[in-house]
Amino acid sequence: MISVLRTSPRPGGTGPTWRFNWVGRIGLAMILFWAFVAIFAPMIAPYPIGEIADWDYFGPMSGQFWLGSDYLGRDVLSRILVGSRYTVGISLAAVFVACAGGVILGMVAAVMGGIFDTLLSRLLDAFNGIPSLLFGLVVVAAVGSSIPVLVLTLAAIYLPGAYRFARALSVNVNAMDFVTVARARGERTPYLIFREIFPNILGPVLADLGVRFVFIVLLLSGLSFLGLGVQPPNADWGALVRENIEGLSLGAPAVIFPCIAIATLTISVNMFIDNLPKKIRDRSE
């Protein structure tokens, strides 16, 4: 089993410094790569996303078209690069909304307790019982597929889980002596939440954010594969698979490489999260 941590003496001092092992570094490098691609995709893409550059549909990989062309003769590499903006951008926005809302509600419920905690927990438990893909399909089909709708739908699906996780951590911290002392000296609820509890659950919350980001990427790709995600002429990676799936036997790269892009992003996030230094992941312990 690969060791997660290694120590080295600090220059001019005592005590260890904690670093990522090589698995975590590879994951971080791949995350930074896709972040760079998502930001600068229009500048580095060889062709505009909707331009028909090859008169031969499902053209083979070549020096001009590194990953071939799709069912309309558009450059697959360009569409994957620009599609990263939608996959990464929508997923990041959704996971931040879900985790921010869930963590705040979880801390408030833990501090206030009583009937507020009970009602909120039961309400979100009931909502969490709805299958995520089914909920996404119903909402997007009823309201329409737009980027704000996708972000809010994905955030709503994963907010209950973020709430349960944050509440469990906050309940433990809320029972500690330093919170009891702060409450005894008359500190108000916002102070207890943001100055006493939140700093002590931040590490596990960040790790949970990474895990939920992976789930959101996969759910977004699933919705797009069913035709309810990002709409043409724009496309995320799931939509690229859907629109080229019928030509798998003719132009396999147009289907395989978007799948590889999804896999590299999700696996690298998992590698990074699994190899976070223990003092970050377990900060609240």
The mean pLDDT value for 237-264 works out to: 89
Indicate the Cα dihedral angle 150, 154, 159, 165, nearest 10°: -150
The mean pLDDT value for 55-73 works out to: 84
The residue whose two tokens read 């690229």 is: 240
| SS3 of the chain | CCCCEEEEECCCCCCEEEEECHHHHHHHHHHHHHHHHHHHHHHHCCCCCCCECCCCCCCCCCCCCCCCECCCCEEHHHHHHHHHHHHHHHHHHHHHHHHHHHHHHHHHHHHHCHHHHHHHHHHHHHHHCCCHHHHHHHHHHHHCCCHHHHHHHHHHHHHHHHHHHHHHHHHHHHCCHHHHHHHHCCCCHHHHHHHHHHHHHHHHHHHHHHHHHHHHHHHHHHHHHCCCCCCCCCCCHHHHHHHHHHHCCCCCHHHHHHHHHHHHHHHHHHHHHHCCCHHHHCCCC
The residue whose two tokens read 């893409």 is: 45
The mean pLDDT value for 27-55 works out to: 89
Distance CA 97, CA 28 (A): 23
Q: Among 5-9, 100-104, 193-197, name the one with the lowest average pLDDT.
A: 5-9
Q: Which residues lie across from 74 on neighbouring strands? A: 52
Give the mean pLDDT of the chain. 84
The mean pLDDT value for 211-236 works out to: 88
Check whether 268 has a pLDDT greater than 80. Answer: yes
Q: What is the pTM of this model?
A: 0.84
Q: Which domains does the chain have, with CATH numbers?
A: 21-281 (1.10.3720.10)
What's the distance, CA 233 to chain centroid?
24
Distance CA 225, CA 232 (A): 12
The mean pLDDT value for 270-275 works out to: 86
Q: Which residues lie across from 8 on neighbouring strands? A: 17
Name which residue leads in pLDDT, 163 or 130: 163
Question: Rounded to the nearest 10 degrees, what angle do helices 147-174 and 114-128 cross at?
Answer: 140
Please choose, from the candidates 150, 159, 153, the residue with its C-alpha nearest in 3D space to the C-alpha of residue 86: 150
Residue 221's Cβ-count burial label (10 Å; 0-12, 13-18, 19+) is buried
Name which residue leads in pLDDT, 141 or 241: 241
Name which residue leads in pLDDT, 165 or 144: 165
CA distances 120 to 52, 115, 153, 252, Å, are: 52, 8, 19, 48
| pLDDT attached to residue 265 | 94
